[in-house]
Structure 1
Amino acid sequence: MGKSSKDKRDLYYRKAKEEGWRARSAFKLLQLNDQFQLFKGVRRVVDLCAAPGSWSQVLSRELFEKNQYTANDEIPPKIVAVDLQPMAPIDGVTTLQADITHPKTLSKILEIFGGEPADFVCSDGAPDVTGLHDLDEYIQAQLILAALQLTTCLLRPGGTFVAKIFRGRDIDLMYSQLGYLFEKVICAKPRSSRGTSLEAFIVCLGYKPSSHWKPTLDPNVSTEDFFKGANIGRYELKDDLTYEEEKRNVAPFIACGDLSSYDSDATYTIESNVDRISLDPVQSPTAPPYKKAIEKKRNGEIKR
């Protein structure tokens, strides 16, 4: 989280630092949970693309503190956060710096869970946007499918999957594909998510794996081939060169968050007559892309 003037006027940004969240995105998961009760009965959770860790913070607080977990509980919560980037430690969270598409990552998670499946898998990951909406939507869809591959190998029947999506003209295809794997698919927009953004969250409830399909992670297998046996609605070219279009559905849209909540698109003026302290980020970046540039500047290797 930076310190631009726009950030300072963003109330969710300011409240995140006041309440100890690493990023304002924590409020998105909190509002999704208020709407769907995502954490009810959950004990094993996987947070994909987790850095810097705001969603893992929410999971830790909700599963350990609010549920008043004690050492005497038979099934203690287990939270695993996975990201290619290093992440600062969080109480109650096991962090893995790993690739979500690699079979070794799946093995490590299952080892932490004692061979048991996950109850809830979430992903707030997104690529660096280019501003070209069609390209950004495509890359994000591929990231979701990569997370979904790991999810199908981890999630128990009846479990829940939540991921960030970019709503575009082809998002109905994603809704349809997820509909083959889950009983209910919902598009949700938390109030803390800016209305001017294409961002939304797909909430998939009631995982229903096919009895004749056993998902197996293989880095040499394409996403399309991975889901080939799942019958998630791919078209097939017939001998006469005709084909049937993939089935497309429109998921119900739900706006999460009370209307009395803060407007993420509004800027709130800081009162000039009140003494305020500018808070530093809760957790500084562990491996920022500009780290080498800063080091070179300090050593005098970069001149203005």
Structure 2
Amino acid sequence: MARSRRKRRHQDSYGRRAKREGYAARSVYKLEEIDEKTGILRRGARVLDLGAFPGSWTSYAAEKVQREGKVFGVDLQPFRGALPENAEIVQGDLLEMSADDFGGAGAWDVVMSDMAPSTTGHRFTDQARSFELFMQALEVAVGVLTPGGSFVAKIFQGGDFEQARAAVAARFEKVKVVKPKATRNESYEIFICGLGFRAAEGAPDPDPDDQAAAGG
């Protein structure tokens, strides 16, 4: 019990730190750790942030890519907060958008997604919805990334996890799986990172069923 309380206090420290450092949410430290392990946010990079609200990922990425780079975020919820000059967030429904809405092939160096479904409390339902969002983000990434680009997205661990990882492996040179320390203890979210995008001309969009068969 004492250990559990210590863990909760440690987790809560991320929220206090975010407030102290001017970020909208503790999730910024998840991206920070992912970036430390992958190096995806480089000076001058063009970053597309899917599910950007409340803006902490967008702000952090904008700081990392500096003035030479830019960050464009989209979310269902309207955003009215302050952002660095090289960043913006617009309201939109990703499920009704395509790669063309984000500039098409080669428009972005990094696509990142912290999207999560509205949870129902039914784990299998939530996992399935998370998988759908993950695959939607991957579909956008495949359509807009420059060759060698990077992708990172959240997914709830479950039966579809290996399908998601295989779909990423089919289009990227390297795949990393990260569970950041800032993740709440009770959460089963995890992040799949694709590094070194292979923009094969004429290659089909990732199909989770096909990739599951290929990946065993």
Shift of 1:116: 5.2
Does the Cα contact within 8 Å between 1:8 and 1:14 map onto a contact in 2?
no
Instruction: Identify if the C-alpha distance between structure 1 residues 106 and 233 changes in structure 2 by more than 3 Å, giving closer, same or farther.
Output: closer
Question: What are structure 2's unaligned runs of at least 5 residues?
Answer: 1-7
1:191: which partner in 2? 181
Question: What are structure 1's unaligned runs of at least 5 residues?
Answer: 1-5, 70-75, 214-228, 236-244, 250-304
Q: Distance in 2 between matches of 1:138 and 1:78?
A: 32
Shift of 1:21: 0.7
**Does 1:119 find its partner at 2:109?**
yes
- The sequence identity of aligned pairs, in percent, is 32
1:212: which partner in 2? 202
Shift of 1:78: 1.6
Does the Cα contact within 8 Å between 2:138 and 2:168 map onto a contact in 1?
no
Q: Distance in 2 between matches of 1:205 and 1:134?
A: 29
The amino acid across from 1:57 in the alignment is S
Does the Cα contact within 8 Å between 2:108 and 2:149 map onto a contact in 1?
yes
Instruction: Identify if the C-alpha distance between structure 1 residues 108 and 172 changes in structure 2 by more than 3 Å, giving closer, same or farther.
Output: closer
1:90: which partner in 2? 83
Instruction: Identify if the C-alpha distance between structure 1 residues 132 and 211 changes in structure 2 by more than 3 Å, giving closer, same or farther.
Output: same
Number of aligned pairs?
206
Instruction: Identify if the C-alpha distance between structure 1 residues 211 and 86 changes in structure 2 by more than 3 Å, giving closer, same or farther.
Output: same
Kindly provide the CA deviation profile for residues 20-50 of structure 1, in whole angstroms up to 9, marking residues without a partner as x.
Answer: 1100000100111111111135521100010
Higher helix proportion, which one? 2
The amino acid across from 1:247 in the alignment is A
Q: Distance in 2 between matches of 1:47 and 1:198?
A: 22
Kindly provide the CA deviation profile for residues 208-236 of structure 1, in whole angstroms up to 9, marking residues without a partner as x.
Answer: 133223xxxxxxxxxxxxxxx3465635x
**Does 1:50 find its partner at 2:40?**
no
2:71: which partner in 1? 79
- SS of the aligned residue for 1:234 comes to helix
Matches within 5 A, 1:1-304: 10-64=12-66, 69=67, 76-88=68-80, 89-91=82-84, 92-103=86-97, 106-110=99-103, 117-213=107-203, 229-230=204-205, 232=207, 234=209, 246-248=213-215
Does the Cα contact within 8 Å between 1:173 and 1:247 map onto a contact in 2?
no
The structure, 1 or 2, with the larger RCO (C-alpha pairs under 8 Å, 6+ apart) is 1
Q: Distance in 2 between matches of 1:34 and 1:131?
A: 32
Does the Cα contact within 8 Å between 2:54 and 2:79 map onto a contact in 1?
yes
User: Superposition RMSD on alpha carbons, in Å?
Assistant: 2.4
The amino acid across from 1:209 in the alignment is A
Q: Distance in 2 between matches of 1:46 and 1:9?
A: 28
Q: Find the structure with the greater CA-based Rg.
A: 1
The amino acid across from 1:43 in the alignment is A
Instruction: Identify if the C-alpha distance between structure 1 residues 7 and 131 changes in structure 2 by more than 3 Å, giving closer, same or farther.
Output: farther
Q: What TM-score do you get using the length of structure 1 for normalisation?
A: 0.62
1:302: which partner in 2? none
Shift of 1:131: 2.0
- SS of the aligned residue for 2:179 comes to strand
